Structure 1
Amino acid sequence: MLLANRHRRHRATQPLLSARFEDAATALAELTAAYQTPDASGAVAYRAGVTVGFVLGAPKPSPLWGPNIWVEAAGLAVVDPELIRDLYAAAAARWVDEGRTAHYVVVPAHDAELVQAWFRLGFGQQHAHAIRPAAPPATVMPAGLSVRRASRVDIPALAQLDRELPLHHAQSPTFSAGPMGTLEESVAEWEADFDDPAYTTFVAEADGRVIGSAIGCALEKSSTHLSLARPEHAGFLGFAAVLPHARGAGAGRALGTAVIDWAVSAGFDSVVTDWRVTNLLSSRAWPALGFTETFLRLHRLIRY
């Protein structure tokens, strides 16, 4: 009931989110699945014998996230935001004892008091999830720029653009240097997967040269937007990158517009995307296209 009520309040500000999770039985199924995740643990708060809050986390096996624990979208609900500080204090003692010192939590963006409570636990915002209606944005194509569907002749450029996003994230102020494959590996992946109908790829051109790319697909293809953070029948702006010399001229927004227009033509009800908030380019481009935040991923690294 706590989780269903939390989601009901959330949908009052973000009605494009799924109404299914306002049902207590559906919320129970999500919470049960989270509880059954390997090595899940957490804490529950009671007041006069009544449950008033919970937090539940589980680790992800990927080394990308460090020795981690994740509180996903279904992993917390409280009647009073201040309670989350006590719940985290109780749960985090075990997590740190287990050596899990990289903590991530996905919090409803509309609840400023709850977000502030997490901030007062030493967390900061790392990532944003966002949504917009599937309706054409009011944008104008910059002069000298064009956007079209990608073809196989674009594979070398697409492979290079695959590397540009992690290269950009490795720089200041994001400093997120994850593992990155070789250009040859990226070319091989594009050669093998280019004709997959589940993904629609666009390229931006200037002076006859490809300078950027973006990919649209159904949100179900995303491994990030899960549970309460996954609206029904939504398209997904899953990737966009622009070559460094071409940034700042509107190519990213033009590519985002192309994916939104594709989602409209495909009959989706909404379009979802996400970005690192320290990525200065995407954190300005996507809100300018009408995306509004639904969930915030917060992060705390326990070290010193």
Structure 2
Amino acid sequence: MEIFDFELKHVEEAKLIAISNYNEEREYVKVLPEIYTFPDLEHFANNGLGVVAFDNGRMVGFLCCYEPWESAYNSKAKGTFSPIHAHGTVKENRCRVYRKMYEAAAEKWVKNKITYHSIALYAHDQEAVNAMFTYGFGLRCIDAIRPMEGLEIQCNNEVIFEELSKAEIPKVREMRKLLTEHLGHSPCFMYSTQEVFERWLTRAEARNTRLFVAIDEEKPIAFVEIAGGGENFATEVPDMCNICGAFCLPEYRGKNIYQSLLNFTILKLKEEGYNRLGVDFESFNPNANMFWTKYFTSYTNGVVRRIDECALNN
């Protein structure tokens, strides 16, 4: 097997491999949409950070990433990310191909002082997952999906469910703050200062999303925030919506309120012609992991590796 730099001449063949890998995941997750327009790969050929693998003259895989950014995951490290469309392999010897490609790509990345490596893998591609896990990666993020069909639950009728108007969005500020505080605690450790939270809140309230809430005695007690697109190309189809925020006050949990709010949201969106609902969440958030995997099917595993800073001195 030979590893080369990923160049423009490799784009079309690499795209066929990536499409094939996506369709493999669709065999496990039937609700994933059929994709007619695949994301462009040319910019990955221009940043000099990608690699391609050949075996006996045949392309067997490629691994590319975005340009690096500073302070990855609010750390002091420079990071990069390889989305699900920026890598792929043929089925034969997949684990070995991924390992060989990552060895070559990681050498490039660290030479460019990129020490936070993040790769989105298909959840049912056990060979790719195993290749990355044995090379020091751990699970961080998950994308999941479900058909826009009502939940099989006994709905809670003791509270009111409704969609907020744009003017009413500030009503969930306190819950957004509580969600941020929750993510800052163990085992998530996604801590935000008050200043960072205020900046994020300003952006969150200005974005073009929809908020559905559960209300008890005129007080919002839970919300689900819905956006058009999500975290990968599969979420960009017109008949799909994506959850980009969710929270329920602790004292109202365990009463089927959040399930009922989700069901209300699903039925409303289904009436509007949407057929799929996506969500992304941190795997190390126990509340989110337990809830979303009960009602949604995972289709990506976002894995990360932090290279020790001593490597930069080599």
TM-score, reference length from structure 1: 0.84
Residues 268-295 of structure 1 show CA distances to partners (whole Å, capped at 9, x for unaligned) of 1211111111111111112222x10111
Residues 301 and 229 (structure 1), Cα distance of their counterparts in 2 relative to 1, 3 Å cut: farther
Q: Matches of 2:198 and 2:49 in 1, distance apart?
A: 42
* Aligned-residue CA RMSD (Å): 2.7
Tell me, yes or no, if the aligned pair for 1:69 and 1:103 is still in contact at 8 Å: yes
Say if 2:62 is the partner of 1:48. no
Tell me, yes or no, if the aligned pair for 1:240 and 1:255 is still in contact at 8 Å: no
Say if 2:299 is the partner of 1:301. no
Tell me, yes or no, if the aligned pair for 1:149 and 1:202 is still in contact at 8 Å: yes
SS of aligned partner of 2:273: coil
Count of residues in correspondence between the two structures:
288
Within 5 A, what are the aligned runs for 1:286-297?
286-289=292-295, 291-297=296-302
Task: Give the match for residue 124 of structure 1.
Answer: 138
SS of aligned partner of 2:105: helix
Shift of 1:228: 4.4
Within 5 A, what are the aligned runs for 1:175-194?
175-178=189-192, 180-181=194-195, 193=206
Residues 15-73 of structure 1 show CA distances to partners (whole Å, capped at 9, x for unaligned) of 3323225xxxx54x52224445xx45121111111111110012353635341011111
Residues 114 and 159 (structure 1), Cα distance of their counterparts in 2 relative to 1, 3 Å cut: same
In structure 1, what residue type is equivalent to 2:257?
A: A
Shift of 1:233: 1.9
SS of aligned partner of 1:59: coil
Task: Give the match for residue 68 of structure 1.
Answer: 79
Tell me, yes or no, if the aligned pair for 1:164 and 1:242 is still in contact at 8 Å: no
Tell me, yes or no, if the aligned pair for 2:70 and 2:78 is still in contact at 8 Å: no
Match of 1:109 among 115, 118, 123: 123
Equivalent pairs: percent with the same residue? 22
Residues 61 and 183 (structure 1), Cα distance of their counterparts in 2 relative to 1, 3 Å cut: closer
In structure 2, what residue type is equivalent to 1:46?
A: F
Tell me, yes or no, if the aligned pair for 2:28 and 2:124 is still in contact at 8 Å: yes
Match of 1:140 among 148, 154, 158: 154
SS of aligned partner of 2:98: helix
Residues 101-155 of structure 1 show CA distances to partners (whole Å, capped at 9, x for unaligned) of 1111000111112111111111111011011011111122236433222357855
Residues 34 and 201 (structure 1), Cα distance of their counterparts in 2 relative to 1, 3 Å cut: same
Match of 2:105 among 87, 91, 96: 91
SS of aligned partner of 1:114: helix
Q: Matches of 1:217 and 1:287 in 2, distance apart?
A: 20
Say if 2:215 is the partner of 1:205. yes
Say if 2:34 is the partner of 1:19. yes
SS of aligned partner of 2:243: strand
Tell me, yes or no, if the aligned pair for 2:70 and 2:79 is still in contact at 8 Å: no
Q: Matches of 1:72 and 1:188 in 2, distance apart?
A: 27
Tell me, yes or no, if the aligned pair for 2:160 and 2:215 is still in contact at 8 Å: yes
Residues 133-189 of structure 1 show CA distances to partners (whole Å, capped at 9, x for unaligned) of 111111222364332223578555411112222211111111111455588778877
Tell me, yes or no, if the aligned pair for 1:58 and 1:69 is still in contact at 8 Å: yes
Within 5 A, what are the aligned runs for 1:145-156?
145-150=159-164, 155-156=169-170
For structure 1, list consecutive stretches of 5 or more residues without a partner in the other structure.
none
